Amino acid sequence: MYIPKEQINSFFQDINSFGISYVLIKNMDDELPAHLENGKDIDILVKEEDKDLFAQKMLGLRYQSCIPPCGISNGWSFAYGLTEYQFWKKPVEEYDIYIDACFKLCCKSLTPKVWIPLDKKINNDIWEQRVWNEKQKWYELDEKTEVIYLVVRSIFDKHVFSNVYKKEIEKRKNLLKECDVREKLQLVFFHFTDTLIEMVLNGRYEEIIPKYLSFTEY
């Protein structure tokens, strides 16, 4: 069962009207606005200084604040000054709308149950480089940041390059040849960066994580 796209569109219309700085972090397989399955959440990044305003407006829209599934109450830690994300639910008729709002682009550490932010430069540049989607009427990550995030998330969060992630990376993989993308990947992967880029460009996804975990020239 899909959540009606009118509900999705209404959410973005509301946060646009509130003047909140945000970006839609990912839209896998273009599931938004018409193909979001009931029970799945919408992942957005909210500028940290808008965190309290966002919470206030969500309550005004009759969203319920929920315990984050991978949050402090469930044994997770947030390192390097990272703020715990907010998790919201709005019951509507026979389905629920879930919003996952974080305040820095982040990933899971290889240390169990620890969240870490991506480098400050990556996070700061998001707000200058975000893209307005004129058709859908929402802000989203620029393509370069998107491909960086998809690779990072596959390695650190998913521990696998799933088919849907590979499909999204393949759309953007030539951007990995750009100097600024390589520089940002280096902030995460250091000396492994060139090996990582080469493997992605050649579609060697199944080899990446074992190679990264056994890399000795870090």
Give the angle subtended at the CA of 16 by the CAs of 12 and 22, to the nearest 5°. Answer: 80
Report how far residue 53's alpha carbon sits from residue 120's, in angstroms, rounded to the nearest whole number.
Answer: 23
Q: What is the mean pLDDT of each run of 10 residues along the chain (218 residues)?
A: 94 97 95 95 98 98 97 98 97 93 97 97 98 98 98 97 97 98 98 98 98 92
Q: Which helix (H) or strand (E) holds 93?
A: none
pLDDT of residue 164: 96
Task: Provide CATH 3.30.460 ranges for the chain.
Answer: 1-140
Question: Exposure string (b/e) for 18-36, b if CB count within 10 Å is 16 or more?
Answer: bebbbbbbbbeeebbbeeb
Q: What is the pLDDT of residue 218?
A: 78
Sign of the dihedral defined by the CA atoms of residues 190, 195, 200, 201, in that order: positive
Condensed to tens digits (0 to 9), the pLDDT of residues 172-183 reads: 999 999 999 999
Please give the CATH topology (third level) of the domain spanning 1-140: Beta Polymerase; domain 2 (3.30.460)
Sign, CA dihedral 191-121-123-49, equals positive
pTM equals 0.96
